Chain A
Amino acid sequence: GESVGLHLPTLSVQEGDNSIINCAYSNSASDYFIWYKQESGKGPQFIIDIRSNMDKRQGQRVTVLLNKTVKHLSLQIAATQPGDSAVYFCAENRGTGRRALTFGSGTRLQVQP
């Protein structure tokens, strides 16, 4: 069935390096995407979002790229810090009028000092 999924369950990077977390989606009607960060023992926290009429959006140290041709979403974190260690989820809104987001299974980012 259609789903949101992630390529890598765990990503380990060195402090100061850039991180790229990927997400594939299969629903061409999806019009909105969002990345959440979840630290251990806490609820998911908003990082950045992007609408389907955009292909790039930047925040503070984070960039989301959307490639609708291949249905691919990525989160780039610049100069990764130990505080970035967490599980990252992508989620999609599968079209106008949908009432709930569909979440991927998550990628764990481990930042090595």
Chain B
Amino acid sequence: NAGVTQTPKFRILKIGQSMTLQCTQDMNHNYMYWYRQDPGMGLKLIYYSVGAGITDKGEVPNGYNVSRSTTEDFPLRLELAAPSQTSVYFCASRPRGEMGIYEQYFGPGTRLTVT
């Protein structure tokens, strides 16, 4: 299994541009998550999904959109990039958690700079 993969690894955007960060997992996990991590800080939840067709906001959803048309994919869309969105973005997934285990598996991250 490749686990959680993210593309691109790096991207530089100009203010006002749009882009989609891709995330794919091959573990058949129901739950998927998007986080952002600012320098020297912890992870902040942007959006999450508990299954195909279902998404919900996290702590910091403004300026982002998501969709979940398949179990495998959970793209994150930035419509009008702003400097405040400069960050490292991590995608994660986990199984349903029937055994009371909620471990999330993380991708390698996308480093985004908005100038």
Chain A residues engaging chain B, CB cutoff 8 angstroms: 31-32, 34, 36, 41-46, 49, 51, 89, 93, 99-101, 103-106
Q: How far is the CA of A104 from the CA of B43 in the complex (A)?
A: 8
Tell me if A44 and B33 are in contact (CB < 8 A): no
Tell me if B101 and A49 are in contact (CB < 8 A): yes
Contact with A along B40-82 (1 / 0, CB 8 A): 0111010010100000101000000000000000000000000
User: Can you name 6 A-B residue pairings with CB atoms under 8 Å?
Assistant: A49-B103, A51-B100, A93-B102, A99-B31, A100-B48, A106-B41
Q: Within 8 Å CB of B102, what residues of A?
A: 32, 34, 49, 93, 101
Most buried by B among A42, A49, A89, A101: A101
Q: How far does the Cβ of A71 sit from chain B's closest Cβ, in whole Å?
A: 18
Tell me if B41 and A45 are in contact (CB < 8 A): no
Tell me if B42 and A89 are in contact (CB < 8 A): yes
Contact with A along B83-112 (1 / 0, CB 8 A): 000000010100000001111111111000
Residue in chain B with minimal CB distance to A97? B97
Contact A89:B58 (CB < 8 A) given known A34-B103, A43-B109, A99-B31: no
Out of B35, B92, B101, B105, name the residue touching A32 (CB < 8 Å). Answer: B101
Out of A41, A43, A51, A100, name the residue touching B107 (CB < 8 Å). Answer: A43
Q: How far does the Cβ of B103 sit from chain A's closest Cβ, in whole Å?
A: 5
